[in-house]
Amino acid sequence: MTTVHGHCEPAFEGVKAAFQDNFDQNRDDGASVCITVDGRPVVDLWGGTRDAAHSLPWEQDTVVNVYSTTKTMAALTMLLLADRGVFALEDPVAKCWPEFAVEGKGDVTIAMLLAHSAGLSGLDTPAKGEAIYDHDDIAARLAAQAPWWKPGTASGYHALTQGYLLGEVVRRTTGKTLGTVFREEIAEPLGIDFHIGTPESVDPRIGDLIPPDQHLGEAAGGDPDSISARTFRSPLAVALDSRTLPWRRAELPAANGHGNARSVARAQALLACGGELDGKRILSEAGCRRALELQISGTDLVLNQPANFGMGYGLANPNMPLPPGMCYWGGWGGSLILVDQDRRVTVSFVMNRMVSTLMGDPRTLGIMGAAEAGFAGLAR
């Protein structure tokens, strides 16, 4: 039987039970779960093993690649820069990146990049292996490319390309990479153990992801010439690459952030708590609320299911009913973050055994339900 370690306040014992059940039912190898209320951790649990051989324990400071949960860190960074006046989210991308205006993209805004509605969810030409680590090359290809649909009319999940697009906007407006801005302005001031571009010093603590049976593109299924299939085919992400040093050292702000449930929950607690954490004001409350502004709604052209996007975060939709004031996103394999600005809470789950589904993981259902019961108990 897997032993669960850490801290859990009495109101959230149901979360601990659901987390333990995932191990007992052989759904998890190693994992962590964290819940914050007003920035304070009320649940901080971990357990299982962190390596593919199941010989090393998942420890308090174990981190893993969280794939698209990284996008919430990129979005938080963009909200911070907009709040500080570095750019406006309504600005055309071409204002800071003139080459981007070609092929009818002159009116594409930074907000469209955040909402996956820019029409650039994949590349016209192949990019795989170490080619996906060449930010300059892929950003230039995206700038030269025609959109796959009319920008601003629909979302099409920019699985990897969002990171290059946002990263180039940040580089052109600050002179720094997005990962550097995140580290200097958010992670280091708040002591958050989350990395976009992971340093060598963290390597001994990184757990192995246990890949699913399908590649990301195979999980999408359907017509190989569809927007969905083309999106996941190029740039191509392969789960086992996450164990390599080139993947860890690269900055892919849409996909290769490394952290655990504690660091994910703490970073997003900044958003949940209106931009102030531990007495440190990082961005304004109004800047935080912008995450909840609906940008696009409808059937996503890549995910092929209903999706509502705010500024870089998913909002409530028929497949993900959420309370008002809550936004979310997750990563390939199962990691998840929920952020509730009205109740000032976050719920995060991070694991190493991946499931093949792009959206939805049964391991989180019991945790989410128990978390809601805990919040209700606190309110009484």
318-371, pLDDT tens digit by residue? 999 998 899 999 999 999 999 999 999 999 999 999 998 766 688 999 999 999
Is residue 158 classed exposed, middle or buried when 0-12, 13-18 and 19+ CB atoms within 10 A define those classes?
buried
Instruction: Give helix 70-83 / helix 161-174 axis angle, nearest 10°.
Output: 30
Residues composing the chain: 380
The verdict on whether 32 is a catalytic residue reads no
Among 166, 104, 192, smallest CA distance to 311 is for: 166
Bridge partners of 196, per DSSP, are: 257
Q: What is the pTM of this model?
A: 0.97
The CATH number given to whatever domain includes residue 227 is: 3.40.710.10
Provide the number of structural domains found in the chain: 1
pLDDT of 214 > 80? The answer is: no
Question: Biggest alpha carbon distance in the chain?
Answer: 58
Active-site choice (32, 55, 68, 263): 68
Q: Are 356 and 214 in contact (CB under 8 A)?
A: yes
State the residue range of the domain holding 280: 4-379
221-260, pLDDT tens digit by residue? 568 899 999 999 999 999 999 999 999 999 999 999 999 9
